[in-house]
Amino acid sequence: MFSKTCEYAIRAVIFIASESYKDKRVGLKDIAVKIDSPEAFTAKILQVLVKNDIINSSKGPTGGFDIPKSAMTTIYLSQIVSAIDGDSVFNGCALGLKECSEIQPCPVHNSFKSIREDLKLMLCSTSLAELASGIKSGSTHLRL
């Protein structure tokens, strides 16, 4: 459903948010270890997230990545997915065909249509605050 890059991005943002709730900034190395991703690859993902105003980056000895608590209620999973994977999860063909539409549907078009709509609803209505609070309360986890 999501690219591996997008999966790492979602994990990274949730981890950064959970640490930001504790008023902590998180360094690149800690993020890479937590999401089980190579450091250089994680750095590229974080650059995209900073560029799309999903996370903040600060340099220096007390630097790192964080998300303001007030922003966590206005950041949704859909923004992370769009920043990393574009809108293909919302509009693309389930089989990856270029020519798939209501007029020329692929074999799974009609079945996948409701799944895509449900997925879009979930991604557009799930805030970072919800996801981070699950980590904070211990009801969800990011451990592999």
CATH number of the domain encompassing residue 133: 1.10.10.10
pLDDT per residue, tens digit, the chain (144 aa), is 789 999 999 999 999 999 999 999 999 999 999 999 999 999 999 999 999 999 999 998 889 999 999 999 999 999 999 999 998 888 888 888 888 888 999 999 999 888 989 999 999 999 999 988 887 777 787 764
- Per the CB < 8 A criterion, the answer to whether 21 and 132 are in contact is yes
Which of 17-42 are b and which e, b meaning 16 or more Cβ less than 10 Å from the residue's Cβ? Answer: bbbbbeeebbebebbbebbebeeeeb
Residue 31 located in a structural domain: yes
**Long-range contacts at 86-93 (CB < 8 A, ≥ 24 apart):** 89/1, 89/2, 89/116, 89/119, 89/120, 89/123, 90/116, 90/120
Domain that holds residue 24: 4-84+127-137
Residue 110 located in a structural domain: no
Dist. CA 132–CA 82, nearest whole Å: 19
Residue 96: what pLDDT?
85
- Structural domain count, the chain: 1
Question: Looking at this protein, which amino acid is placed at residue 134?
Answer: G
Residue 143: what pLDDT?
64
Residue 144: what pLDDT?
47
Residue 97 located in a structural domain: no
